[in-house]
Amino acid sequence: MYKDPSIEELFGFSDSNEYESTEENNSSDELEVFDHKVSPSSFNGNEPIDISSITFPSISGLILYENLLTHEQQNELINGIIEANYFDNPESNQAMCFGTLPSFLLNAVEIISHTPGLFPDGIQNRKPLFDQSIINLYKPGEGITSHVDLPRFEDGIVVISLLSSCVMQFKPLSDISDIEQDGDNTNYYNKFKDIQNTGETIPVILRPGSVLALSGSSRYNWTHGIEENEIDEVGDEKIVRNIRVSVTLRKMKQDQLLLNKDDSNSFSFEVKKRGH
Ligand SMILES: O=C(O)CCC(=O)C(=O)O
Ligand SMILES: [Fe+2]
């Protein structure tokens, strides 16, 4: 029977000292988050089935593929993330990997790279498609400040959603001139607080197994963020948030790679607390 996993079951830590597991210990460390009786519906290695793609008329370049990853593929990602121990420290909720992608991401990247229409051809056919990943862990009620991804990353970004749904808000930038000047990370997230928000906000529901692709205007001219809500309401739909994990995949700009030439084929990662 499906039961939402607790954060302790997933990542082995608790906010409260009172937590005591009533579950049997799973000696293999492997966690089946999804009940496989709910039949996975999507990519079977040959033909994609039952995948819906959603576009947003006012946000050019934004496309959402629901059910792109099967439950098994989602489990594989979650188990890979657990085994990598990124979130052993309860303070950390963001792991950044540079260089070679962690191996547990490779099947998902393979699927994404074979998904037609995700990106314009020039992006879709680049090699490698991605060389940087961020894994974000959200407890219920947590979010991420509205931002535009850093200019040191190429166009063509995806966000894979796992475990829980949430709403991502897209807001058009009123002034994009600052983005070009901001070559590094400094105060990047704060920068957009003041210059966004002159127009409408477009809610995008990110469900587990979905892949959101951003290119062109959606990547450069809109901010995206997740509000700090325990419940999201969109139209008639009410989403009670549970623990959510997302995987962001991007490609570093070539000149940024050259800055770290000796490291460009190696793998490194950094685990920290999201600054927002
Ligand atoms: O967690 C998400 O869904 C979004 C993450 C994000 O925007 C980012 O890593 O830049
Ligand atoms: Fe982002």
Q: Split the chain (276 residues) into runs of 10 and give each run's mean pLDDT.
A: 69 46 45 47 47 92 96 95 92 90 96 95 96 95 92 96 97 62 44 53 96 96 94 95 97 73 53 68
Q: State the closest ligand 1 atom to the C-alpha of 136, by its place in the atom list counted from 1.
A: 1
The number of C-alpha atoms within 13 Å of 66 and in the hemisphere containing its C-beta is 10
Q: In Å, how far are 59, 61, 178, 185 from 173, measured between CA atoms?
A: 12, 15, 11, 19
Q: What is the spatial order of strands in the sheet that 166-172 belongs to? A: 144-147, 222-226, 166-172, 202-206
Is the CB of residue 224 below 6 angstroms from any atom belonging to ligand 1? Answer: yes
* Superfamily of 58-272 according to CATH: Alpha-ketoglutarate-dependent dioxygenase AlkB-like (2.60.120.590)
Compute, in angstroms, the gap from residue 246 CA to the centroid of ligand 1: 7
Assess contact for 250 and 154: CB atoms under 8 A: yes
**pLDDT confidence of residue 228:** 96
Nearest CA to ligand 1 atom 8: 248
How many angstroms separate the CA atoms of 227 and 19, rounded? Answer: 27
* Residue whose CB lies within 8 A of the most ligand 1 atoms, among 155, 185, 223, 226, for a mutation test: 226
How many angstroms separate the CA atoms of 195 and 197, rounded? Answer: 7
What is the bridge-based pairing of β-strands 237-240 and 231-234?
antiparallel
* Residue whose CB lies within 8 A of the most ligand 1 atoms, among 139, 144, 222, for a mutation test: 144
Work out the end-to-end distance of the chain between its first and last CA atoms, rounded to an integer number of angstroms.
35
Kindly report the number of other CB atoms within 10 A of residue 253's CB atom.
15
Q: Which residue has the tokens 């700090």?
A: 228
Kindly report the number of other CB atoms within 10 A of residue 201's CB atom.
14
How many residues comprise the chain? 276
Amino acid present at 44: N
**pLDDT confidence of residue 148:** 92
Is the CB of residue 218 below 6 angstroms from any atom belonging to ligand 1? Answer: no
**pLDDT confidence of residue 38:** 34
Kindly report the number of other CB atoms within 10 A of residue 149's CB atom.
20
**pLDDT confidence of residue 199:** 64
How many angstroms separate the CA atoms of 126 and 217, rounded? Answer: 19
Assess contact for 98 and 267: CB atoms under 8 A: yes
Assess contact for 5 and 33: CB atoms under 8 A: yes
Q: What is the dihedral of CA 250, 254, 257, 258, to 10 degrees?
A: 180
Q: What is the largest CA-CA distance in the chain?
A: 55
